[in-house]
Amino acid sequence: MTVLVTGGAGYIGSHMVLELLDAGEKVVVLDNLSTGFRWAVPAEVPFVQGDFGDEDLITETLARYGVTAIAHFAAKIVVPESVADPLGYYLNNTAKARSLIERAIEGGVQHFIFSSTAAVYGDPESNPVTEDESLKPVSPYGRSKLMVEWMLQDAAKAHGLRYAVLRYFNVAGADPKGRAGQSTANATHLIKVAVQAALGHRPGMEVFGTDYPTRDGSCLRDYIQVSDLAAAHMDALRYLRGGGDSITCNCGYARGYSVLEVIDVVKKVSGVDFPVTISGRRAGDPAAIVAGNDRIRAVLGWTPKYDDLDVIVRQALLWEQHLQKQRTAAASNA
């Protein structure tokens, strides 16, 4: 009963590994370390360095560790990058996922948890969005993930695999015990960028557009704390193991904050009034997207613990300070 976590050295995957370990599960991590870090995986967890598109490596790993479930996090995740490099996104997120699903079925894996995204909805007509909303992704990133949802639906029908598709809204914050956080170099996500500006790790930041049809003109997003998100995966795993049918769930708190509101919270929590420039819109950004979360609460029994933007921002600040100390220590040892 081992769970394979692809992308387990990355931001969300490393929190999932902690969640699994805390629940007493057996885990193996596969990661190519393109954006993740070996140190983000606890020493007691078997680590396989490689690509989830490497068919022989996957077959061998599934057999060697007796894998019965896969939580598939490894992916490229930057919307504007997907606009510039669509074929790279379709290769990595879609074509390689097809091969992983095929290997999983051949290897007798029973349960598959897939990291999907709110980007499959595109720019919804109204919010919060439910899972039954029409799917109209506006970026190659969203499309690259939606195609995997479809493959899973069809493969599950044909081969009896059961899956949980989890559509993430905007993931932020860090492990409350300070064991993991968002460590990606050059991260582009709003809270990470704002926290870096507050700590003086960058001179300031930009707001990409204040001419959207929202309450203050900046984009509205639903920020979900990363350990709450990992817990949703654990709930999904228990549900599938308990015989639950394949399911697709939104992961979010059902309330939105604007970019300007998030920046205000970061300024308040950090106590630093960093420079903010208003710039033009960024390619591929929907105006507003907020999760309807009735299904995940009702069917998976998910109960979030950190639905508080001040808490999320404080965790992000603490983690960024931790990374800074790590860098300083590495530089003085060099």
User: What is the smallest separation between the CB atom of 108 and ligand UDP, expressed in angstroms?
Assistant: 35
Q: Binding string to ligand UDP for residues 170 to 199, with x set by CB under 6 A, is what? A: x-----------------xxx--x------
Give the residue with the Cβ less far from ligand UDP, 163 or 257. Answer: 257
Length of the chain counted residue by residue? 334
Catalytic (active site) residue 121: no
**Size of site (CB under 6 A) for ligand UDP:** 15
Cβ–Cβ contacts within 10 Å for residue 34, how many? Answer: 12
**Which tokens go with 5?**
């976590």
- The C-alpha atoms of residue 328 and residue 321 are separated, in whole angstroms, by 11
User: What is the smallest separation between the CB atom of 286 and ligand UDP, expressed in angstroms?
Assistant: 8
Q: Which residue lies nearest ligand UDP, judged by its C-beta?
A: 219
68-87: contacts with ligand UDP (CB under 6 A): 79
- The C-alpha atoms of residue 324 and residue 322 are separated, in whole angstroms, by 5
- The C-alpha atoms of residue 105 and residue 296 are separated, in whole angstroms, by 26
Question: To 10 degrees, what angle do helices 55-65 and 96-106 make?
Answer: 40
Cβ–Cβ contacts within 10 Å for residue 219, how many? Answer: 25
- The C-alpha atoms of residue 207 and residue 216 are separated, in whole angstroms, by 12
Name which of 298, 78, 90, 32 is nearest 193 in CA terms. Answer: 78
- The C-alpha atoms of residue 114 and residue 153 are separated, in whole angstroms, by 11
User: What is the smallest separation between the CB atom of 59 and ligand UDP, expressed in angstroms?
Assistant: 33
Residue among 11, 89, 121, 141 flagged as catalytic: 141
Contact assessment for residue 225 and residue 172, using Cβ atoms and an 8 Å cutoff:
yes
User: What is the smallest separation between the CB atom of 319 and ligand UDP, expressed in angstroms?
Assistant: 16
Q: Binding string to ligand UDP for residues 216 to 255, with x set by CB under 6 A, is what? A: ---x-x----------------------------------
- The C-alpha atoms of residue 145 and residue 121 are separated, in whole angstroms, by 11
Give the residue with the Cβ less far from ligand UDP, 77 or 164. Answer: 77
User: What is the smallest separation between the CB atom of 246 and ligand UDP, expressed in angstroms?
Assistant: 25
Q: Binding string to ligand UDP for residues 91 to 130, with x set by CB under 6 A, is what? A: ----------------------------------------
Give the residue with the Cβ less far from ligand UDP, 118 or 237. Answer: 118
261-290: contacts with ligand UDP (CB under 6 A): 282, 285
Name which of 259, 252, 256, 266 is nearest 316 in CA terms. Answer: 266
User: Contact between 207 and ligand UDP (CB under 6 A)?
Assistant: yes
Give the residue with the Cβ less far from ligand UDP, 259 or 291. Answer: 259
Q: Is 237 exposed, middle or buried (0-12, 13-18, 19+ CB in 10 A)?
A: buried
The DSSP code for 52 is T
User: What is the smallest separation between the CB atom of 62 and ligand UDP, expressed in angstroms?
Assistant: 31
- Residues of this chain that interact with ligand UDP (CB under 6 A) are 79, 170, 188-190, 193, 205-208, 219, 221, 259, 282, 285
Active site members: 141
